[in-house]
């Protein structure tokens, strides 16, 4: 299988001397196109730092990250912002929806930022799959946590990104809703051949992924 994302020799150090913290300490990772990968680790293991690196939200102290044919380190900040909008979908624990926009407006918002036209047929397919057809005119604060997370998933998928990065996407949800959301992520991964990388501290949730990468003290210990 073709690797959509490659990280090589990834290190992220903070501080110096006695105060040196090795958040990432030499990560080599390849993510296959169309696969659902879970990165699991305890709090402080480095998994969030790794996800931020993979998404170009933070820069490594050493090492390289390549998404498709693009090496992130070679982009300036403006190019990196545009690249992220066009090629990476983010799903956050706290949903990050815009409260004054309707569900539909939230879903197409990142696309409109680039002045692109949303593919309405494709987006309605996602909306139906996620069961949001009757909620398109609603504001986020009129939705349950599970529904808000579904909107966040739809928004991440809508721009047809190369890869989706999910940061503890079920962290604010009860266990049944969590299972539903992960099931939907898995289904969208298969349906749209979408590559998803999710971080979680929950082993049961990780079991639903195609592959589990375990990280401890900034290093991969199994995959």
Q: Return d(Cα 173, Cα 60) in angstroms, integer.
A: 31
For residues 56 and 5, what is the distance between their CA atoms, to the nearest angstrom? Answer: 12
Rounded to 5°, the CA angle 191-31-186 comes to 30
Report residue 10: phi and psi, to 5°.
-75, 125
Q: Which two tokens stand for residue 5?
A: 């994302």
The pLDDT tens digits for 28-72 are 999 999 999 999 999 889 999 999 999 999 999 999 999 999 999
User: What tokens does 197 get?
Assistant: 């990388």
Tell me the whole-structure pTM to 2 decimals: 0.89
Q: Domains along the chain?
A: 35-62+75-222 (3.40.50.300)
- The per-residue pLDDT of the chain, averaged, comes to 92
Cβ distance 192 to 134 under 8 Å? Answer: no
pLDDT at 10 over 80: yes
Q: Which tens digits make up the pLDDT trace of 174-186? A: 888 888 888 888 8
Query: Residue for token digits 């529904």?
Result: 147
Q: Give the pLDDT confidence score for residue 219 in this predicted structure.
A: 95
pLDDT band at 222 (very low <50, low <70, confident <90, very high): confident
Backbone φ and ψ for 71, nearest 5 degrees, come out as -95, 120
- Token pair for 46: 């480095």
Helix (H, G, I), strand (E, B) or coil at 179: helix
The pLDDT of residue 176: 85
Question: How many Cβ atoms from other residues are within 10 Å of residue 209's Cβ?
Answer: 22
- What span, in angstroms and rounded, lies between the C-alpha atoms of 11 and 92? 23
Residue 185 in 3-state DSSP? helix
Distance CA 77, CA 185 (A): 30
Q: How far apart are CA 88 and CA 195, in angstroms?
A: 10
Residue 97: band (very low, low, confident or very high) from pLDDT cuts 50, 70, 90: very high
């Amino acid at each position: 299988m073709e690797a959509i994302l490659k990280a090589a020799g990834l290190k992220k150090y903070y501080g110096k001397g006695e105060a040196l913290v090795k958040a990432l300490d030499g990560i080599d990772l390849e993510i296959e196109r169309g696969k659902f990968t879970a990165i699991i680790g305890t709090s402080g293991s480095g998994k969030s730092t790794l996800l931020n690196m993979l998404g170009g939200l933070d820069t490594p102290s050493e090492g390289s990250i390549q998404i498709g044919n693009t090496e992130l380190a070679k982009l300036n900040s403006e190019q990196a912002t545009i690249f992220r909008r066009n090629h990476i979908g983010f799903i956050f624990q706290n949903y990050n929806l815009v409260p004054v926009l309707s569900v539909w407006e939230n879903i197409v918002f990142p696309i409109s930022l680039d002045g692109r036209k949303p593919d309405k047929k494709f987006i309605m397919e996602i909306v139906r799959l996620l069961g949001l057809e009757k909620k398109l005119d609603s504001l986020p604060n009129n939705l349950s946590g599970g529904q808000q997370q579904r909107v966040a998933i739809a928004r991440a998928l809508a721009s047809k990104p190369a890869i989706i990065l999910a940061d503890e996407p079920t962290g604010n949800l009860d266990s049944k809703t969590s299972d539903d959301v992960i099931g939907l992520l898995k289904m969208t991964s298969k349906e749209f051949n979408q590559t998803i990388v999710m971080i979680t501290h929950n082993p049961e949730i990780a079991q639903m992924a195609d592959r589990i990468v375990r990280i401890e003290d900034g290093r991969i210990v199994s995959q």
